[in-house]
A and B are shown apart, each in its own frame.
Chain A
Amino acid sequence: MPAVEETVEQVKRIDVDQYKYGFETHIESEKAPKGLSEDTIRFISAKKNEPDWMLDWRLGAYRRWLTMREPGWARVHYSKIDYQDIYYYAAPKAFKAPKSLADVDPEILKTYEKLGIPLKEQEILAGVRKQGEPSELDDETTGGEYTSGRVAVDAVFDSVSVATTFKEELKKAGVIFMPISEAIREHPDLVKKYLGSVVPTSDNFFATLNSAVFSDGSFVYVPEGVRCPMELSTYFRINEANTGQFERTLIIADKGAYVSYLEGCTAPMRDENQLHAAVVELVALDNAEIKYSTVQNWYPGDAEGRGGIFNFVTKRGDCRGKNSKISWTQVETGSAITWKYPSCILRGDNSRGEFYSIAISNGHQQVDSGTKMIHLGKNTISRIISKGISAGKSNNTYRGLVSAHRKATGARNFTNCDSLLIGNQCGAHTVPYIEAKNSSATFEHEATTSKISEEMLFYCQSRGMSAEEATALVVNGFVRDVLQQLPMEFAVEAQKLISISLEGSVG
């Protein structure tokens, strides 16, 4: 497997504890006053030129939030978050809603370049500079046809979206892909109809906070019968110190539509913790399909567990229509704390939910992640594949719920969660909830926890591999089921990320 050798090389090149994306971009930024109050929310809303109904919606959420308590049931421990010590809004200063990438601060573009993110790297960026025309590379590879080789990117820097590529081309197909702040102004009907319909403002502590202060995020609407011509992607970056990022993503696939959406995240290295509380809502109508992939690589903190991102995210998909499908794929390698349960509500008959996850924790990271599959409609099917790898002094928990309601005849679920432990100071935990209220439901759940087998390592080493190579090979084999679900470009990146995350623990 050449990919594996490549991975090992990559690991070797990087020193221990070297978070690759830990640099900081020095650009001037404009912030809301520190702390949270109705004034902060009015400030954000005014900055975004939002209509009154949006402001009322936010204020409603804020008032609700004041009555709520921070949840304490997850297996994560962290010092108390001071919600008044955070900037809730930060935007690059020279920022005036850019018409094209040429208007974007070159420092920011450089940042994204450094990150090597799929703003489809330099080629695509060049293509965008030509204002919507396909780039040379695209012409060669696609022959003018739409293929999945191209990726439209929405880049979010702290609190605002700084660049969205391929907008024109998507428009031709009828796909709306824009920052949600723009969508609130340009497509208020769609936003009004769907925003908060999957994750209500009162859903949980962090989602409610997000509803009050969310600043930006992506909005996608794929009209009836349209297969989105390219992968859509958002890149999230927290840059400012003491800033929370609260993005909100809303994706709607109308009847018979299809869309694949990727999300990536990084942040600079800092000694203090930063809060990230996002909400993602997916709505799939009849026969629609949404595929949502995440590669989460927020700064995980240093070797002593200082700093890092607190990642408290609410992601939920609603298979509202018949025969609809929502699939979540996630590779979680970053964050000091991950608290995240991408869920599917299988409301439509014959709808299908899938969850594929790789969660890797090293150092002092704490991961409490999993999914919920709520079967409401008839003959609904769900599938959960979760792979957790714990190393260092980390704790990795899978927490999942599968439930079938009275009327969900013929519901089926298959769950497989495996954990791998590397080293004896880490922990791996599995907490599944399986609730069946219907006799025709068929639920199967299996979980295993083990160490990398000595036998496998010996086998590889006896064939000339080093201990490190052998471990990388076994780990890659362990997570293969999930990697296969990722779009090609991401799969390669994710594979590298996995090796890097385990750096310092292998052998």
Chain B
Amino acid sequence: MADVTPMKTPAEQALTAAYEAARGKLVGKGALADLRADAFQRFEASGLPHRRVEEWKYTDLRMLMREAYPLAPAPDAAAKARAKEAGQILAGVDCRRLVFVDGAFAPELSDLTPEAGLTVGSLAEALANTGNLGDALVAEHVGKTFATEDMAVALNTAFMGDGAVIRVADDTTLQRPIHLVFASGSDKPSASFVRSLVVIGKGAQVTIIEDHDSSEAQVNAVLELVVGDDAKADYYKITRAKALHVASLLASVGAGAMFDTFAFTSDSGVVRNQHFIRFAGEDTQGNIRGVSLLRGKEHVDTTLLIDHAAGHCASREQFKAVLDDQSHGVFQGKIVVEPHAQKTDAKMMTRALMLSDEAESDNKPELEIFADDVACGHGATASALDPGLMFYLMSRGIGAKEAESLLIQSFIGEALEEIEHEGIREALTFAAVRWLGARG
């Protein structure tokens, strides 16, 4: 534990260089410029998060991010053409598609048919229009949804270029889910920093899907989500990111709201999905769920921070991971119950299924409780397939491979079945079955 000042890694040096170079081009004056500069200064001071940073203990970006890719150029026609195929996982679901190519909004690929109560725009536009945090909605919320010292969020703030800005008016029920597709179009390795803002009015009902489908790209995504009182919001995060992907959800949920999330991750390189969720008003119900499917040398980290800041809220967290080959699955889930948040009911369950002796599963469920009248709990398991169950199926004439597949399906099914939207549930279940089918 000797005192050492770590050398800057090549990736850190490249990020600093990129920031210096881009500073002139990144939109922003006044408050926005200050916000960026302040965030970058924090990055300069502490560098990429590494294993000595408790929250990043199992996902050491200093090690995992060997180099920093250059910022993606504005997408050309070829890039947009390549991006057309992205987000196919939900091809069968009737959604409003909003497409972002290499982090830039592509209106020509997006469905912009007007709908009452819905305003859709791009962050770059909102920032450029005013050159400041002048846009009322952006100024009110960006960087303020959830206060965090997290370094990935800080980097995003420093570099944020484009993203969706969505406003749903009070008491509006959207007819179709909004499907935000973040695709990579560039044929060269590139980096993008996308920042989206979704503000859901009181009593509104909305389904939002954040779908990242990228190839050789480093993506740092932040979505700030404000759920109004008594609203019903469903948030899905679908990740298939070949290279490096760090995504942060910063959510603040109002009183009496219903808030469901589901994160589905497969076929990825290094992924870190962080959910920072605050229950800011009383009587809110939240279901935070997810399934990760890992093989090869994939690394998927799911990190939750559930902050019960108001009383009488109930939250359920359920995460499942299937780990094959030399993959590395990480789950960190922290439930915080603040002193006045009496009658909180929070239960977290995380389970890892290990299919290979070379896989690694690290679980860290945490409780941090300051109120006495609460019922909180967590459970965590890690194990292989139950040989008893395998034997049962095989003794009934089912082959080993098939038996294994059935058991895995039922393992992840427990989480998938809870998805309320039928179309999305079927699409994700199908994707999981396809993943299983590709197992040797």
Contact = CB atoms under 8 A, between A and B. Distances in A.
In this complex, which of B342, B356, B376 has the most chain A Cβ atoms within 10 angstroms of its Cβ?
B376
Nearest to A70: B1
B200 interface: no
B372 A422 contact: yes
Contact of B384 (A423, A433, A439): A439
Contacts of B361: 434-436
Contacts of A441: 354, 382-384
Interface string B373-415: 1111111111110000000000000000000000000000000
Contacts of B358: 406
B345 to A, nearest CB: 10
Contacts of A84: none
Interface residues of B, number: 38
B379 A446 contact: yes
Nearest to A409: B357
Contacts of A406: 357-358
A447 B339 contact: no
A434 B360 contact: no
Contacts of B422: none
Contacts of B368: 427, 429
B365 A436 contact: no
A69 B367 contact: no
A428 B367 CA distance: 8
B364 interface: yes
B54 A432 contact: no
Helix, strand, loop or mixed for chain B's interface? strand
Interface string B339-365: 100100000000010111111111111
B366 interface: yes
B3 interface: yes
B372 A430 contact: no
Contact of A447 (B362, B365, B375): B365
A185 interface: no
B109 interface: no
Nearest to B364: A433
A444 interface: yes
B1 A429 contact: no
A431 B333 CA distance: 10
Contacts of A462: none
A443 interface: yes
Contacts of B435: none
B374 A449 contact: yes
A204 interface: yes
B295 to A, nearest CB: 13
A81 interface: no
B35 interface: no
A110 B342 CA distance: 49
B7 interface: no
B371 interface: yes
B116 interface: no
A68 interface: yes
A205 interface: yes
Contacts of A68: 1-2
A435 B383 contact: no
A375 to B, nearest CB: 12
Contact of B363 (A205, A434, A446): A434
Contacts of B365: 430, 432, 445, 447
A225 B286 CA distance: 58
B342 A424 contact: yes
A432 B363 CA distance: 8
A431 B332 CA distance: 10
Given A69-B2, A440-B384, A446-B378, A429 B366 contact: yes
A439 B352 CA distance: 10
A445 B384 contact: no
Chain A contact-residue range equals 35 or more
Interface string A399-435: 0000000100100000000010111111111111111
A78 interface: no
Interface in A433-490: 433-451
A292 to B, nearest CB: 27
B369 interface: yes
Contacts of A444: 379-381
A447 B383 CA distance: 18
Contacts of B363: 432-435, 443, 445
Given A67-B2, A431-B364, A439-B354, A451 B374 contact: yes
A430 B380 contact: no
Contacts of B371: 421, 424
Contact of B366 (A409, A424, A431, A443): A431
Contacts of A53: none
B364 A436 contact: no
A68 B372 CA distance: 38
A444 B363 CA distance: 11
Contacts of A421: 369, 371-372, 374
B376 A449 contact: yes
A442 B388 CA distance: 14
B430 interface: no
A433 B362 contact: yes
A443 B380 contact: yes
Contacts of A144: none
A127 to B, nearest CB: 48
Nearest to A446: B379
Nearest to A429: B368
B364 A434 contact: yes
B406 to A, nearest CB: 18
A448 B375 CA distance: 7
Nearest to A69: B1
Contacts of B2: 67-69
A71 interface: yes
A436 B3 contact: no
B367 A447 contact: yes
Interface string B1-27: 111000000000000000000000000
B373 A451 contact: yes
A444 B380 CA distance: 6
B360 A437 contact: yes
B372 A443 contact: no
A439 B2 CA distance: 35
A428 B369 contact: yes
Nearest to B376: A449
A435 B354 CA distance: 12
A443 B380 CA distance: 8
Interface string B38-58: 000000000000000010000
Contacts of A450: 374-376
B1 A71 contact: yes
Interface of B: 1-3, 54, 339, 342, 352, 354-384
Given A448-B377, A449-B369, 19 more contacts: A205-B1, A421-B372, A424-B339, A425-B339, A427-B369, A432-B364, A432-B366, A432-B380, A434-B363, A435-B363, A436-B354, A436-B360, A441-B354, A442-B382, A442-B383, A444-B379, A447-B378, A451-B372, A451-B373
23 contacts: A67-B2, A69-B2, A204-B1, A419-B369, A421-B369, A423-B372, A424-B370, A428-B369, A429-B367, A430-B367, A434-B382, A435-B361, A436-B354, A439-B383, A441-B354, A442-B381, A442-B382, A443-B380, A443-B383, A446-B377, A447-B367, A448-B375, A450-B375
Interface of A: 67-69, 71, 73, 204-205, 406, 409, 419, 421-451
Closest 8 CB pairs of A and B: A439-B354, A421-B372, A448-B377, A434-B363, A436-B382, A430-B367, A445-B380, A442-B383
